[in-house]
Amino acid sequence: MMHPRQLRQQIHQGLNFGLVLASAFMFWKFLSVLTSSESPVVVVLSGSMEPAFQRGDVLFLYNRDNYVDVGDIVVYQVKDKSIPIVHRVMNEHHIEYTTSAQQQQQQQQQAKSSGSEYSPLVHTSGGKQLLLTKGDNNPVNDLGLYGRNQGYLNRDDDILGVVKGYVPFVGYITILITENVYLKYAMIGFMAISALLSNEE
């Protein structure tokens, strides 16, 4: 049985570590809420957007724009396909359902008669945008990557976010760790050895 003081120290260290992990997780979720995107920071995995993006670059996404513009770089995921793709929007076609003055008056009268609040500040009640994308480094557009009868991407359903910011290279470590098995074991081995040889409390 470990000495009580040692045990306390180990638990303390473990809790500290857990605190760091929890804080990191909290920060990630906070970014998700801020950008309204499931995955606010992504690492580029393929070379289909070269020379702009290389493998290992880190992209910052933002998903609060109702409509995406041509030329924007988006991350999308086709339904039933697992890999998100980062490509540029080539074509867009959108319909914005705005309420006309007449419709607003109708809605106001309806609200009065049913006794509920009507806010006249709301002018758009939604819309739909269809997109066609293409990778800068690909010779043809992404039609072949969409679903069987899918001619366009839908901004609301398929787009995970628009790329707004960029940091080069720093994501390459995550690629190496996930793809290179030797590196994973080497890192674990290194951590074990350094823990053995360390002189720290």
Partner 1 sequence: MSFSLADVTEYFTGTIDYKGQELATSILYKLLNFFALSSFLVGFVYQDIVYSVAIFGTGLVVIAVVISPPFKFYNKHNLKFLPVKNQVFSADTISDVVIEPIQQ
Partner 2 sequence: MFSITQRFQTLSNTALTYAIYVAVAVVATFYYQLYFDGASSVPATVDNISIKSHFKSSRSFGSMNKKPKENTKLTFDIDADLSPLFNWNTKQVFVYLTAEYPGKNSQASNKVTYWDKIVTSKEDANLELKNQRSKYNVWDVEKTFRGREAVVRLEWNIQPHIGPLVWGSTVSNATIVYPDSKVGGK
Answer yes or no whether residue 130 interacts with partner 2 by CB under 8 A. Answer: yes
CB atoms within 10 A of CB 135: 22
- Residue labelled with tokens 């793809």: 179
Answer yes or no whether residue 33 interacts with partner 1 by CB under 8 A. Answer: no
DSSP character at residue 170: T
Structural tokens at position 174: 């995550």
Q: Which listed residue (37, 57, 142, 158) is catalytic? A: 142
Distance CA 15, CA 52 (A): 42
Alpha carbon dihedral 154, 160, 163, 164, in 10-degree steps, equals 110
Scanning residues 134 to 193, which ones bind partner 2 (CB under 8 A)? 136, 140-141, 143, 149, 151-152, 163-168
Q: What are phi and psi of 83, to 5 degrees?
A: -95, 125
Distance CA 51, CA 137 (A): 8
Q: Which one of residues 115, 149, 198, 201 is an interface residue with partner 1 (CB under 8 A)? A: 198
Q: What track of x and - describes contact with partner 1 for positions 168 through 197 (by CB under 8 A)?
A: -----------------------------x
CB atoms within 10 A of CB 126: 10
Which option in partner 2, partner 1, none does residue 102 bind, with CB closer than 5 to 8 A by kind? none
Scanning residues 18 to 37, which ones bind partner 2 (CB under 8 A)? none
Distance CA 163, CA 171 (A): 15
- Residue 3 one-letter amino acid: H
Q: What track of x and - describes contact with partner 2 for positions 74 through 113 (by CB under 8 A)?
A: --------------x-xxxxxxxxx---------------
Scanning residues 113 to 142, which ones bind partner 1 (CB under 8 A)? none
Q: Which one of residues 6, 82, 199, 201 is an interface residue with partner 1 (CB under 8 A)? A: 199
Q: Which one of residues 7, 19, 70, 177 is an interface residue with partner 2 (CB under 8 A)? A: 70
Packing angle between helix 181-197 and helix 172-179, nearest 10 degrees? Answer: 100
- Residue 151 one-letter amino acid: G
Q: Is 46 a catalytic residue?
A: no
Catalytic positions, written as ranges: 48, 87, 142
In the complex, the residues that contact partner 2 under the rule CB under 8 A are: 51-53, 69-73, 88, 90-98, 127, 130, 136, 140-141, 143, 149, 151-152, 163-168, 194, 198-200
